[in-house]
Amino acid sequence: MVRRAGVVFVFVMATCGPLTTATATAQQVSNDDGAVSLDRVKDALARTPPQSLKFDARMPVPVATFRVTVEQKAFVEPILVTLRKEFELTPLQRQSAEWSSKCCGLSLAAVTESLEKAFRRWEERRIHDRVSRELAEVIAAREK
């Protein structure tokens, strides 16, 4: 166990030792050259470049040279396609619907429309008769 701890200590010193020495050396060098490098940077900034940048120049408008395509099947079918698949009539169903709308050569829509008109006329006549009868009763009661 002691031997293993010694091996680990030697390994740690071998890997971490050079790191601590290198950082200490770098700190000493940066402290010594700090004033010199600061003056060098100030001098470089003070010099003007031989060519100055022009900010008023107009850049050409870039031309689009790309194209995007998607070559993948849609994850969800459009709603109209789904509805057509589910509710579109087969030729036999279309024929049956046409036959059922013409019962014995008659159009069911025309038959129902004429029945509705007849019912409305019957109700109007019934209401008219009732009003006439009640009006006659009121007149008879007033004459007595």
Residue 115 lies in a domain: yes
Residue 116 lies in a domain: yes
Residue 58 lies in a domain: no
The residue assigned the tokens 């109209």 is 80
Residue 106 lies in a domain: yes
- Token digits for 96? 């049956």
91-122 tens-digit pLDDT: 888 877 777 766 666 777 888 899 999 999 99
- Token digits for 120? 């409305």
Q: How far is CA 24 from the centre of its chain?
A: 58
Residue 8 lies in a domain: yes
Does pTM top 0.85 for this prediction? Answer: no
The residue assigned the tokens 């007149």 is 139
Domain count, the chain: 2
∠ CA 85-86-87, nearest 5°, is 100
pLDDT in tens, the chain (144 residues): 556 666 566 566 666 555 555 455 555 555 555 667 788 888 887 776 666 666 677 777 777 777 878 777 777 788 888 888 888 888 888 877 777 766 666 777 888 899 999 999 999 999 999 999 999 999 999 988
Residue 22 lies in a domain: yes
Residue 65 lies in a domain: no
Domain span at residue 18 reads 1-45
Residue 53 lies in a domain: no
